[in-house]
Amino acid sequence: MNAREGISALRGHWPEYLIEGWALGMFMISAGLVTTLFDYPGSPVNHALHDGDLRRMLTGICMGLTAIALIYSPWGKRSGAHMNPAVTLTFLRLGHVAPWDAVFYIIAQFVGGTLGVLVVIAVLGNAFAEPPVRYVATLPGMQGVSIALLAEFAISFAMMTAILLASNSQQLMRYTGVLAGVLVATWISVEGPLSGMSMNPARTFASALPGNVWTGFWLYMIAPVAGMQAGAMFFTWQRGRSAVKCSKLMHSDDQRCIHCGYEPSALAREAMS
């Protein structure tokens, strides 16, 4: 890596970098609005739904649908919709993201996610900032840091394994985003009480910085990355490294791919317009 390569990557691939920041920013805005709607004590929805497990399940469904919408959006198809440094680092290790692209993707994810949280603070104020919503910070549950660490590792391992299995299957690749969204919904509903369900270092940072909430922060930097790397190792051990074709969650014929070098033909662009 050298500075000249970095400048060249920035000039050529800046739309994809901005999209990555936009995508996680939108995810965090959705998370803030949905969680406040269900969990803020002054919300009429909170008053109507007394069952905390039900509210968490509904929150999970909303966030799963948000993830699906972002992945299948035209912009999500353009960048590949990583929205997560752990995903980007895993595909970097697999050789499907260039080093400078990984650097700028990760910077964009951290910045975009944080800006998303700041937008929600500006709109909702104390309803979002005060407990129990508390900036939608991801925190270890009542069972402690060790269980949260193991849980984050496990869900990250499962997510990356599922993404690789689906995105590299001719029959399943078009459903990769749906599968990812279903897992997001499931993890929030089931695993949320253990770790807050981060699976994403930039997502945790986005809440921790504005809210100054750093409890267990280190585990959210380590476990998602380690879990997804382990998932990739498991997949390549079974299928071989050559089985991984690209790092996009949704590879569209009408969008260029800076990772595998695909460029849509004029005919393809015309057909999709």
What is residue 265's predicted lDDT score, i.e. its pLDDT?
74
Residues 35, 61 contacting (CB under 8 angstroms):
no
84 Cβ partners below 8 Å, 6+ apart? 24, 109, 199, 200, 201, 202, 203, 224
> Using CA atoms, how far apart are residues 52 and 66, in angstroms rounded to an integer?
21
* 3-class secondary structure, 84: coil
pLDDT at 50 over 80: yes
DSSP annotation string for 36-79: HHHH-TT-HHHHH---HHHHHHHHHHHHHHHHHHHHHSHHHHHH
27: part of which helix (H) or strand (E)? helix 3-39
> Using CA atoms, how far apart are residues 122 and 119, in angstroms rounded to an integer?
5
Domain count, the chain: 1
Handedness of CA 245, 18, 103, 10 (dihedral sign): positive
Q: What is the pTM of this model?
A: 0.95
What is residue 240's predicted lDDT score, i.e. its pLDDT?
94
Q: 162: domain range?
A: 3-272
> Using CA atoms, how far apart are residues 202 and 199, in angstroms rounded to an integer?
9
pLDDT at 262 over 70: yes
pLDDT in tens, 209-232: 999 999 999 999 999 999 999 999
What is residue 272's predicted lDDT score, i.e. its pLDDT?
43
Percent of the chain predicted with pLDDT > 90: 93
Mean pLDDT, the chain, as a whole number? Answer: 95
* CA distances (Å), origin 160, targets 86, 155, 227, 228: 9, 9, 8, 5
pLDDT in tens, 69-95: 999 999 999 999 999 999 999 999 999
49 Cβ partners below 8 Å, 6+ apart? 38, 55, 58
CATH code, domain carrying 215: 1.20.1080.10
What is the rounded average pLDDT of the residues 121-134?
97
126 Cβ partners below 8 Å, 6+ apart? none
pLDDT in tens, 188-213: 999 999 999 999 999 999 999 999 99
What is residue 40's predicted lDDT score, i.e. its pLDDT?
97
> Angle, to 10 degrees, between the axis of helix 3-39 and the axis of helix 99-124?
30
